[in-house]
Amino acid sequence: MLADDRAELVDLLERWTLAAEQMTAGQPAGTGAVDGDVRLPPDDTGEALDLPASGLSITFGFGPSLFRDGEGTDRFGIADRQPDALRELPHFPGDILDPARSGGDLCIQACADDPQVAVHAVRNLARIGFGTVSVRWSQLGFGRTSTTSTSQSTPRNLFGFKDGTANVKAEEGAALNEHVWVGDDAGAGWLAGGSYLVARRITMTIEVWDRQPLGDQESFVGRTKGTGAPLSGGEEMTEPDFDMPGSNDQPVIPTDAHVRIVHPDAHGGVRMLRRGYNFVDGSNALGGLDAGLFFIAYVRDPGTHFVPVQLAMSKNDALTEYLKVTGSALFAVPPGAGPGEHVGQSLFA
Protein backbone atom coordinates (compact mmCIF):
# COMPACT_ATOMS: atom_id res chain seq x y z
CA MET A 1 0.00 0.00 0.00
CA LEU A 2 1.38 3.37 -0.98
CA ALA A 3 -1.56 5.27 0.49
CA ASP A 4 -2.10 5.50 4.27
CA ASP A 5 -5.79 6.20 4.00
CA ARG A 6 -8.43 3.69 5.14
CA ALA A 7 -11.06 5.01 2.72
CA GLU A 8 -8.62 4.64 -0.15
CA LEU A 9 -7.91 1.01 0.83
CA VAL A 10 -11.63 0.19 1.01
CA ASP A 11 -12.19 1.94 -2.32
CA LEU A 12 -9.40 -0.14 -3.87
CA LEU A 13 -10.95 -3.36 -2.55
CA GLU A 14 -14.31 -2.32 -4.03
CA ARG A 15 -12.75 -1.64 -7.41
CA TRP A 16 -10.77 -4.89 -7.29
CA THR A 17 -13.90 -6.86 -6.42
CA LEU A 18 -15.76 -5.44 -9.43
CA ALA A 19 -12.87 -6.09 -11.82
CA ALA A 20 -12.35 -9.60 -10.40
CA GLU A 21 -16.04 -10.33 -10.94
CA GLN A 22 -15.79 -9.16 -14.55
CA MET A 23 -12.55 -10.98 -15.37
CA THR A 24 -13.50 -14.31 -13.73
CA ALA A 25 -16.60 -14.21 -15.95
CA GLY A 26 -14.35 -13.86 -19.00
CA GLN A 27 -15.13 -10.16 -19.50
CA PRO A 28 -12.61 -7.32 -19.74
CA ALA A 29 -12.17 -4.97 -16.79
CA GLY A 30 -14.16 -1.70 -16.64
CA THR A 31 -15.43 -0.45 -19.96
CA GLY A 32 -13.12 -2.85 -21.73
CA ALA A 33 -10.15 -2.64 -24.06
CA VAL A 34 -11.72 -1.19 -27.21
CA ASP A 35 -15.13 0.26 -26.36
CA GLY A 36 -14.08 3.33 -24.38
CA ASP A 37 -13.35 6.92 -25.34
CA VAL A 38 -10.57 6.89 -27.97
CA ARG A 39 -9.00 9.95 -26.33
CA LEU A 40 -8.37 8.01 -23.09
CA PRO A 41 -6.25 4.97 -22.21
CA PRO A 42 -8.53 1.92 -22.29
CA ASP A 43 -9.82 0.51 -18.97
CA ASP A 44 -8.60 -2.98 -19.90
CA THR A 45 -5.17 -3.78 -21.34
CA GLY A 46 -6.62 -6.11 -23.99
CA GLU A 47 -4.40 -9.20 -24.07
CA ALA A 48 -7.24 -11.45 -22.88
CA LEU A 49 -9.68 -10.29 -25.60
CA ASP A 50 -11.00 -13.33 -27.50
CA LEU A 51 -9.83 -15.70 -24.74
CA PRO A 52 -12.34 -17.55 -22.54
CA ALA A 53 -12.42 -17.16 -18.72
CA SER A 54 -10.05 -20.18 -18.59
CA GLY A 55 -11.17 -21.11 -15.08
CA LEU A 56 -9.72 -17.86 -13.71
CA SER A 57 -9.90 -17.61 -9.92
CA ILE A 58 -8.64 -14.62 -7.96
CA THR A 59 -7.79 -14.80 -4.25
CA PHE A 60 -6.86 -11.78 -2.13
CA GLY A 61 -4.88 -11.74 1.09
CA PHE A 62 -3.85 -9.28 3.81
CA GLY A 63 -0.29 -9.35 5.20
CA PRO A 64 0.72 -8.60 8.80
CA SER A 65 2.15 -5.23 7.71
CA LEU A 66 -1.30 -4.07 6.57
CA PHE A 67 -2.35 -4.10 10.23
CA ARG A 68 0.86 -2.64 11.69
CA ASP A 69 3.75 -1.39 9.60
CA GLY A 70 7.45 -1.84 10.49
CA GLU A 71 7.22 0.94 13.09
CA GLY A 72 4.05 -0.52 14.61
CA THR A 73 1.86 2.21 13.11
CA ASP A 74 -1.80 1.36 12.59
CA ARG A 75 -2.11 2.96 9.15
CA PHE A 76 -5.66 1.82 8.40
CA GLY A 77 -7.30 1.63 11.84
CA ILE A 78 -7.39 -2.18 11.82
CA ALA A 79 -4.56 -3.06 14.25
CA ASP A 80 -7.05 -4.27 16.87
CA ARG A 81 -8.38 -6.75 14.30
CA GLN A 82 -5.03 -8.35 13.51
CA PRO A 83 -5.42 -12.08 14.18
CA ASP A 84 -2.87 -13.50 16.63
CA ALA A 85 -1.86 -16.03 14.00
CA LEU A 86 -1.04 -13.31 11.44
CA ARG A 87 2.59 -12.53 12.39
CA GLU A 88 5.66 -12.52 10.18
CA LEU A 89 6.87 -16.11 9.79
CA PRO A 90 9.97 -16.89 11.87
CA HIS A 91 13.35 -17.34 10.23
CA PHE A 92 13.83 -21.01 9.35
CA PRO A 93 17.28 -22.64 9.15
CA GLY A 94 18.45 -22.53 5.55
CA ASP A 95 16.24 -19.61 4.50
CA ILE A 96 18.17 -17.22 2.24
CA LEU A 97 15.36 -14.77 1.79
CA ASP A 98 15.46 -11.94 -0.69
CA PRO A 99 13.54 -9.10 1.00
CA ALA A 100 12.48 -7.90 -2.47
CA ARG A 101 10.69 -11.25 -2.91
CA SER A 102 9.16 -11.48 0.55
CA GLY A 103 6.31 -10.03 2.58
CA GLY A 104 3.77 -7.50 1.35
CA ASP A 105 0.68 -5.67 2.65
CA LEU A 106 -1.69 -7.29 0.16
CA CYS A 107 -1.56 -10.31 -2.07
CA ILE A 108 -3.32 -11.44 -5.22
CA GLN A 109 -3.21 -15.05 -6.39
CA ALA A 110 -4.62 -15.45 -9.88
CA CYS A 111 -4.94 -18.99 -11.27
CA ALA A 112 -6.13 -19.94 -14.74
CA ASP A 113 -5.77 -22.72 -17.27
CA ASP A 114 -4.03 -20.18 -19.55
CA PRO A 115 -1.13 -18.12 -18.11
CA GLN A 116 -2.04 -15.21 -20.40
CA VAL A 117 -5.40 -14.96 -18.59
CA ALA A 118 -3.77 -15.12 -15.14
CA VAL A 119 -1.16 -12.49 -16.01
CA HIS A 120 -3.85 -10.29 -17.56
CA ALA A 121 -5.79 -10.40 -14.27
CA VAL A 122 -2.83 -9.42 -12.10
CA ARG A 123 -1.70 -6.74 -14.54
CA ASN A 124 -5.14 -5.13 -14.66
CA LEU A 125 -5.64 -5.26 -10.89
CA ALA A 126 -2.24 -3.62 -10.39
CA ARG A 127 -3.20 -1.02 -12.97
CA ILE A 128 -6.51 -0.28 -11.26
CA GLY A 129 -4.55 0.35 -8.04
CA PHE A 130 -2.02 2.70 -9.67
CA GLY A 131 -1.09 5.42 -7.16
CA THR A 132 -2.69 3.51 -4.25
CA VAL A 133 -0.60 0.32 -4.47
CA SER A 134 2.59 -0.74 -6.20
CA VAL A 135 3.74 -4.25 -6.97
CA ARG A 136 6.40 -5.33 -4.45
CA TRP A 137 7.06 -8.73 -6.04
CA SER A 138 5.37 -11.27 -8.24
CA GLN A 139 5.93 -14.85 -9.32
CA LEU A 140 4.65 -16.63 -12.40
CA GLY A 141 4.20 -20.39 -12.03
CA PHE A 142 3.06 -23.18 -14.29
CA GLY A 143 1.86 -26.78 -14.14
CA ARG A 144 0.35 -26.96 -10.66
CA THR A 145 2.40 -29.15 -8.32
CA SER A 146 -0.45 -30.50 -6.23
CA THR A 147 -3.65 -32.34 -6.92
CA THR A 148 -6.52 -30.60 -5.16
CA SER A 149 -9.36 -32.90 -6.27
CA THR A 150 -9.85 -36.65 -6.50
CA SER A 151 -10.88 -36.08 -10.15
CA GLN A 152 -7.33 -34.98 -11.10
CA SER A 153 -4.35 -37.21 -11.78
CA THR A 154 -1.31 -36.25 -9.71
CA PRO A 155 1.02 -33.79 -11.47
CA ARG A 156 4.80 -33.74 -11.05
CA ASN A 157 7.21 -31.18 -9.65
CA LEU A 158 10.55 -30.29 -11.27
CA PHE A 159 12.33 -33.10 -9.37
CA GLY A 160 10.16 -35.38 -11.50
CA PHE A 161 8.13 -36.76 -8.57
CA LYS A 162 4.36 -36.94 -8.25
CA ASP A 163 3.27 -34.13 -5.94
CA GLY A 164 -0.05 -33.80 -4.18
CA THR A 165 -0.74 -37.48 -3.52
CA ALA A 166 -1.58 -36.97 0.16
CA ASN A 167 -2.88 -33.40 -0.28
CA VAL A 168 -6.18 -32.32 1.26
CA LYS A 169 -8.71 -32.72 -1.55
CA ALA A 170 -11.76 -30.58 -2.35
CA GLU A 171 -13.98 -33.59 -1.66
CA GLU A 172 -12.75 -33.89 1.94
CA GLY A 173 -15.20 -31.46 3.54
CA ALA A 174 -14.43 -32.42 7.14
CA ALA A 175 -10.65 -32.16 6.59
CA LEU A 176 -11.08 -28.73 4.97
CA ASN A 177 -13.02 -27.54 8.02
CA GLU A 178 -10.46 -28.98 10.37
CA HIS A 179 -7.27 -27.92 8.60
CA VAL A 180 -7.94 -25.19 6.05
CA TRP A 181 -10.85 -22.87 6.92
CA VAL A 182 -10.50 -20.52 9.91
CA GLY A 183 -13.21 -21.31 12.48
CA ASP A 184 -15.55 -18.95 14.38
CA ASP A 185 -13.55 -19.70 17.52
CA ALA A 186 -10.19 -18.40 16.26
CA GLY A 187 -10.53 -14.96 17.88
CA ALA A 188 -10.82 -12.97 14.62
CA GLY A 189 -14.50 -13.12 13.65
CA TRP A 190 -13.98 -11.27 10.36
CA LEU A 191 -11.71 -14.09 9.15
CA ALA A 192 -14.10 -16.97 9.95
CA GLY A 193 -14.54 -18.99 6.77
CA GLY A 194 -11.29 -17.61 5.36
CA SER A 195 -7.81 -19.11 5.53
CA TYR A 196 -4.11 -18.30 5.72
CA LEU A 197 -1.93 -18.40 2.62
CA VAL A 198 1.73 -19.31 3.10
CA ALA A 199 3.93 -18.54 0.09
CA ARG A 200 7.51 -19.80 -0.20
CA ARG A 201 9.64 -19.37 -3.29
CA ILE A 202 11.80 -22.49 -3.12
CA THR A 203 14.69 -22.62 -5.58
CA MET A 204 15.66 -26.20 -6.45
CA THR A 205 19.27 -26.96 -7.40
CA ILE A 206 18.08 -28.87 -10.43
CA GLU A 207 21.45 -29.74 -11.95
CA VAL A 208 22.79 -31.17 -8.66
CA TRP A 209 19.60 -33.19 -8.19
CA ASP A 210 19.84 -34.56 -11.73
CA ARG A 211 23.22 -36.11 -10.86
CA GLN A 212 21.80 -38.13 -7.94
CA PRO A 213 21.10 -41.84 -8.47
CA LEU A 214 17.44 -42.80 -8.83
CA GLY A 215 17.56 -44.86 -5.61
CA ASP A 216 18.88 -41.87 -3.65
CA GLN A 217 16.25 -39.53 -5.11
CA GLU A 218 13.54 -41.98 -4.02
CA SER A 219 15.08 -42.27 -0.54
CA PHE A 220 15.10 -38.47 -0.14
CA VAL A 221 11.39 -38.31 -0.96
CA GLY A 222 10.31 -41.65 0.57
CA ARG A 223 8.27 -42.58 -2.50
CA THR A 224 9.04 -44.19 -5.87
CA LYS A 225 9.54 -41.85 -8.80
CA GLY A 226 7.41 -43.87 -11.22
CA THR A 227 4.11 -44.51 -9.46
CA GLY A 228 4.56 -42.34 -6.38
CA ALA A 229 3.94 -45.35 -4.10
CA PRO A 230 5.55 -45.21 -0.65
CA LEU A 231 8.85 -47.11 -0.41
CA SER A 232 7.10 -49.45 2.03
CA GLY A 233 5.09 -50.78 -0.90
CA GLY A 234 1.64 -50.72 -2.45
CA GLU A 235 0.29 -48.12 -4.85
CA GLU A 236 0.27 -44.35 -4.99
CA MET A 237 -2.55 -43.95 -2.49
CA THR A 238 -1.31 -46.65 -0.06
CA GLU A 239 -0.50 -45.21 3.37
CA PRO A 240 3.26 -45.32 4.09
CA ASP A 241 4.41 -47.83 6.70
CA PHE A 242 7.10 -45.92 8.56
CA ASP A 243 7.98 -48.88 10.80
CA MET A 244 8.74 -51.35 8.03
CA PRO A 245 12.39 -52.42 8.44
CA GLY A 246 14.81 -52.04 5.54
CA SER A 247 18.50 -52.91 5.29
CA ASN A 248 21.25 -51.90 7.78
CA ASP A 249 18.83 -51.58 10.70
CA GLN A 250 17.24 -48.61 8.93
CA PRO A 251 13.53 -48.38 8.17
CA VAL A 252 12.71 -48.79 4.49
CA ILE A 253 11.42 -45.19 4.45
CA PRO A 254 14.56 -43.44 5.74
CA THR A 255 14.42 -41.34 8.90
CA ASP A 256 15.16 -38.16 6.90
CA ALA A 257 12.77 -38.88 3.99
CA HIS A 258 10.54 -35.89 3.12
CA VAL A 259 7.24 -37.74 3.49
CA ARG A 260 8.22 -38.99 6.95
CA ILE A 261 9.39 -35.57 8.20
CA VAL A 262 6.29 -33.68 7.06
CA HIS A 263 3.72 -36.45 7.60
CA PRO A 264 0.74 -35.59 9.83
CA ASP A 265 1.73 -38.43 12.20
CA ALA A 266 4.85 -36.43 13.10
CA HIS A 267 2.87 -33.23 13.78
CA GLY A 268 -0.19 -34.13 15.83
CA GLY A 269 -2.26 -34.92 12.77
CA VAL A 270 -2.10 -31.48 11.06
CA ARG A 271 -2.55 -31.33 7.30
CA MET A 272 -2.30 -28.46 4.80
CA LEU A 273 -3.86 -27.70 1.44
CA ARG A 274 -0.87 -27.43 -0.88
CA ARG A 275 -1.58 -25.30 -3.94
CA GLY A 276 1.87 -24.68 -5.45
CA TYR A 277 3.29 -24.26 -8.93
CA ASN A 278 6.54 -24.97 -10.71
CA PHE A 279 8.52 -21.95 -11.84
CA VAL A 280 11.46 -21.29 -14.17
CA ASP A 281 12.78 -17.73 -14.20
CA GLY A 282 15.38 -18.23 -16.91
CA SER A 283 18.91 -19.25 -15.95
CA ASN A 284 21.29 -18.28 -13.16
CA ALA A 285 24.85 -16.93 -13.45
CA LEU A 286 26.23 -20.49 -13.63
CA GLY A 287 24.02 -21.42 -16.56
CA GLY A 288 21.75 -23.56 -14.38
CA LEU A 289 17.99 -23.16 -14.29
CA ASP A 290 16.69 -20.52 -11.89
CA ALA A 291 13.83 -22.84 -11.13
CA GLY A 292 11.90 -24.45 -8.33
CA LEU A 293 8.61 -24.76 -6.61
CA PHE A 294 6.50 -21.77 -5.71
CA PHE A 295 5.09 -23.45 -2.61
CA ILE A 296 1.68 -22.16 -1.60
CA ALA A 297 -0.31 -23.71 1.22
CA TYR A 298 -3.64 -22.82 2.79
CA VAL A 299 -4.00 -23.56 6.51
CA ARG A 300 -6.39 -22.60 9.30
CA ASP A 301 -3.51 -21.52 11.56
CA PRO A 302 0.09 -21.12 10.37
CA GLY A 303 1.34 -21.45 13.96
CA THR A 304 0.06 -25.01 14.28
CA HIS A 305 -0.28 -26.15 10.67
CA PHE A 306 2.80 -24.75 8.93
CA VAL A 307 5.58 -23.43 11.21
CA PRO A 308 6.31 -26.72 13.06
CA VAL A 309 6.26 -28.68 9.80
CA GLN A 310 8.59 -26.23 8.04
CA LEU A 311 10.89 -26.17 11.06
CA ALA A 312 11.17 -29.97 11.07
CA MET A 313 11.79 -29.92 7.33
CA SER A 314 14.50 -27.26 7.58
CA LYS A 315 16.31 -29.21 10.30
CA ASN A 316 15.97 -32.84 9.28
CA ASP A 317 14.70 -33.33 5.73
CA ALA A 318 17.01 -34.92 3.12
CA LEU A 319 15.41 -32.79 0.40
CA THR A 320 16.67 -29.53 1.90
CA GLU A 321 20.18 -30.17 0.57
CA TYR A 322 18.69 -29.48 -2.87
CA LEU A 323 16.55 -26.48 -1.90
CA LYS A 324 17.05 -22.78 -1.16
CA VAL A 325 14.13 -20.73 0.11
CA THR A 326 14.50 -17.35 -1.57
CA GLY A 327 11.12 -15.73 -0.87
CA SER A 328 8.51 -16.01 1.87
CA ALA A 329 5.22 -14.41 2.88
CA LEU A 330 2.11 -14.98 4.95
CA PHE A 331 -1.35 -13.53 4.32
CA ALA A 332 -4.79 -13.81 5.89
CA VAL A 333 -7.32 -14.63 3.17
CA PRO A 334 -10.78 -13.25 3.96
CA PRO A 335 -13.84 -15.40 3.25
CA GLY A 336 -15.29 -15.14 -0.26
CA ALA A 337 -17.31 -11.99 -1.01
CA GLY A 338 -21.07 -12.53 -1.23
CA PRO A 339 -23.36 -10.70 -3.68
CA GLY A 340 -23.07 -6.94 -3.20
CA GLU A 341 -20.07 -7.28 -0.88
CA HIS A 342 -16.49 -6.30 -1.55
CA VAL A 343 -13.49 -8.48 -0.77
CA GLY A 344 -12.53 -8.16 2.90
CA GLN A 345 -15.75 -6.32 3.81
CA SER A 346 -15.96 -8.11 7.16
CA LEU A 347 -12.57 -6.66 8.16
CA PHE A 348 -13.79 -3.09 7.75
CA ALA A 349 -17.38 -3.58 8.99
Give the interface with ligand HEM as residue ranges (CB under 6 A): 157, 159, 161-167, 200, 202, 204, 221, 223, 258-259, 262-264, 272, 292-293, 295, 309-310, 313, 319, 323
Nearest one of 76, 1, 7, 66 to 332, comparing CA atoms? 66
Closest approach of Cβ 182 to ligand HEM, in Å? 19
Closest approach of Cβ 20 to ligand HEM, in Å? 28
Q: Could you tell me if 43 and 36 are in contact, meaning their C-beta atoms sit under 8 angstroms apart?
A: yes
Q: What is the DSSP string of 231-243?
A: TTSS-TTSPP-TT
* CB closer to ligand HEM, 108 vs 309: 309
Residues 214, 229: Cα–Cα separation, whole Å: 15
Closest approach of Cβ 308 to ligand HEM, in Å? 9
243 half-sphere exposure, CB direction, 13 A CA radius: 1
Taking every pair of Cα atoms in the chain, the longest distance, rounded to a whole number of angstroms, is 77
Buried b (16+ CB within 10 A) or exposed e, 241-267: ebeeeeeeeebbbbebbbbbbbbeebb
What one-letter code names the amino acid at 78?
I
Q: Could you tell me if 85 and 186 are in contact, meaning their C-beta atoms sit under 8 angstroms apart?
A: yes
* CB closer to ligand HEM, 123 vs 274: 274
* CB closer to ligand HEM, 221 vs 318: 221
* CB closer to ligand HEM, 104 vs 240: 240
Closest approach of Cβ 52 to ligand HEM, in Å? 30
Closest approach of Cβ 263 to ligand HEM, in Å? 5
Where are the strands (E) in 101-165, listed by range? 106-111, 142-144
* CB closer to ligand HEM, 123 vs 169: 169
Distance of CA 32 to the CA centre of its chain: 30
Measured CA to CA in angstroms, residue 218 lies from 32, 223, 228, 319 at distances of 51, 6, 9, 10
* CB closer to ligand HEM, 58 vs 202: 202
Closest approach of Cβ 82 to ligand HEM, in Å? 24
* CB closer to ligand HEM, 133 vs 252: 252
Closest approach of Cβ 83 to ligand HEM, in Å? 20
